[in-house]
Structure 1
Amino acid sequence: MKISWIQPKWLRKNRILLSFLISLLCVIVVFNSPAIARTSTTTSFRIPIFGLHDIIDEANIQQSPKNRLQFDNDYFKQDLYTFLNYLAKNNYWFLTSQDLFTYFIQKSQPMPQERIGQKPVMITFDDGYEGVHQSVLPILKDLEKNYQTKVKIVWFVNPGLMGVKLKDFLPHVSCEELRDGYKRGYYDIQSHGQTHKKLTLVKDKDLKFELEQAKLELRTCTQDLDKNKWVAAHIAYPFGSINRRVEKSLPRYYLTGYVYDGNILRVNRYTNQYRLSRIAVNRYTSPRRLIRIAQRATTLRKL
């Protein structure tokens, strides 16, 4: 026998209202589910990381083409001042390598309230040339005086070359000079390998030496200043060269690693912390172009 079901009159008359109530209930359930709660932690942040090398002062006759070898990776002090002055004037957040790791990658601490409304950038220098200490440190002091803000740079140093000053070889910063900038709160000192060898080409024994010895010597240089052990906790690969073999060796020594791929870093839950993007800056990169890139950084807001 076939049994049919007849809808009650109240249900037929209020079918639209009932559909609306069911839909509203579904929305409430979905937005309070753990899956949705997790999306707030997957926000993508755009963080431009600029990579420079030696800095030339055009006003210094000793750094003119007649008296110094010229390289494409050099950048002029006057152009750098224009760029950093814009960032300081417009209240950018100058990230250290540990800031990036703590607040954006690991997310082990909540975003500092004083950073809300700022745009994060990172200014890095490779190789540890003395010209950076001579030219950049006065800029950082001047900016702090003008804007009452501490402008920090991340310096990826090869400790095996610290203090080396040879003829026809660009002089490298000494441990004493590094300590000077570190004590003043301007330098974030990190590893660039021990002797600037391309890590992808060295044997496993030499790879261990390049990674381990660089960390040891940089921390020895700053051991009485670095209570948190943040010096040499991060690395930028010489020549920007990285492969799976090198990457597999990194977690034992470093928390993050930096490459050169010309991209603005986008931090989300898929970010590989050992392949953090940097943008190479050279003598052909105008301050105006750097400013345009910096303007694309994410403005930090409350979640």
Structure 2
Amino acid sequence: MSRQAVPILMYHSVATAPSDLTRELSVAPEAFREQMAQLGDLGCTPLTTADLARHWRRDAPLPPRPVLITFDDGYEGVHRHALPVLAEHGFASTLFVSTGWIRGEHEGGGALDTMLDWDQVRALAAAGTEIGGHSHTHPQLDQLADEELWFELLRCKEIIGAELGAAPASFAYPYGYSSHRVRRTVREAGFAQSLAVGNALALRRQGPYALRRVTVRRGTGAEEFERLVRGRAIARTFARDRALTKGYAVVRRARQVRRKAMRSRV
């Protein structure tokens, strides 16, 4: 069984002037270009999410220095700024779209910045980007009742299939939050693998529905980016994030218990 750790890079917006709501999780186009050049200089081989899962399911050897480049939500800058750079290097990537945020007939509002439209999503797919699901309205899935959870997954899958002609195989949890129930439902909805966050390297033993990623932000400099790709000092880099996540997890569990109690009274 493969024990090789793989860095899965999580991007959001690639923008010169992102909205205040997306700024921290955005990267400047110049920084993205430099980071992709770094991957090339390090001899990395970018894979799609489906590619990685396929290798691990078959226990097949991975290519030299594998890495995944992933984008969440579906911001317009992925087409405007990231696609030309990926094409220049011949790099594979995966885009996880929240279908209710993508501009067009399925749009339901709530997006945090300018989003892709479906023609742009199709252009990315045609260029070799894997298109995965990221729910319909981008909720915290583990806080939803079963009926709402199924709606978010199936509506997302249905729209992507209708727009692109093929159902998505991969999924990413909004906010990175999941639970055993959510992971089971994602599998039962027909997704073959799914990504969390965790800010750690991905390992086969994490299972296909809980693969971890590392966050690339606006403040990620060249030295830190190389450490992330090489898997060095990741725990120290994200120590503050882990502390905040643990604290918020207590609040979220309390909310979930309260909601279950309210539903049981109905």
Distance 2:120 2:170 in 1: 20
- Give the secondary-structure state (helix, strand or coil) at the position aligned to 1:100: helix
Distance 1:205 1:44 in 2: 37
Aligned residue type for 2:58 = K
Partner deviation per Cα, 1:87-117 (whole Å, 9 max, x = no partner):
123431111011111102x116x447xx3xx
Instruction: Choose which of 130, 133, 137 in structure 2 pairs with 1:188.
Output: 130
Q: What displacement does 1:167 show?
A: 11
Q: What displacement does 1:258 show?
A: 1.0
Decide whether the 8 Å contact of 1:88 with 1:151 is kept in 2.
no
Residues 1-303 of structure 1 mapped to structure 2, 5 A cutoff: 42-57=1-16, 63=17, 68-69=19-20, 71-104=23-56, 106-107=57-58, 110-111=60-61, 115=63, 118-143=64-89, 150-163=90-103, 169-185=112-128, 187-223=129-165, 226=166, 231-252=167-188, 253-267=190-204, 270-296=205-231
Distance 1:80 1:100 in 2: 22
Aligned residue type for 1:176 = D
Q: What displacement does 1:295 show?
A: 2.6
- Give the secondary-structure state (helix, strand or coil) at the position aligned to 1:152: coil
Q: What displacement does 1:171 show?
A: 1.4
Partner deviation per Cα, 1:153-206 (whole Å, 9 max, x = no partner):
111101111115989951111111011121122x11001011101101111111
Unaligned runs of 5+ in 1: 1-41, 58-62, 144-149, 298-303
Distance 1:291 1:91 in 2: 12
Distance 1:53 1:165 in 2: 20
Task: Describe the shift of the 1:167–1:47 C-alpha distance in structure 2 as closer, same or farther (beyond 3 A).
Answer: closer
Distance 1:174 1:249 in 2: 28
Partner deviation per Cα, 1:39-72 (whole Å, 9 max, x = no partner):
xxx2301100111110123xxxxx27xxx43621
Identity of matched residues, %: 24
- Give the secondary-structure state (helix, strand or coil) at the position aligned to 2:10: strand
Which TM-score applies when normalising by structure 1? Answer: 0.70
Q: What displacement does 1:282 show?
A: 1.2
Runs of 4+ in 1 over 4 A off after TM superposition: 164-169
Partner deviation per Cα, 1:216-259 (whole Å, 9 max, x = no partner):
11111110xx4xxxx52111100111112212212222111111
Decide whether the 8 Å contact of 2:176 with 2:196 is kept in 1.
yes
Decide whether the 8 Å contact of 1:260 with 1:278 is kept in 2.
yes
Decide whether the 8 Å contact of 2:108 with 2:137 is kept in 1.
no
- Give the secondary-structure state (helix, strand or coil) at the position aligned to 1:288: helix
Aligned residue type for 1:71 = R
Partner deviation per Cα, 1:103-159 (whole Å, 9 max, x = no partner):
02x116x447xx3xx10000111100112211101212333xxxxxx2111111011
Distance 1:161 1:172 in 2: 7
Distance 2:227 2:220 in 1: 11
Distance 2:111 2:162 in 1: 29
Decide whether the 8 Å contact of 1:130 with 1:172 is kept in 2.
yes
Task: Describe the shift of the 1:296–1:166 C-alpha distance in structure 2 as closer, same or farther (beyond 3 A).
Answer: closer
Distance 1:248 1:151 in 2: 31
Distance 2:152 2:73 in 1: 14
Decide whether the 8 Å contact of 1:165 with 1:172 is kept in 2.
no
1:14 matched residue in structure 2: none
Distance 1:293 1:97 in 2: 18
Give the CA RMSD over aligned residues. 2.2
2:258 matched residue in structure 1: none
Unaligned runs of 5+ in 2: 233-266
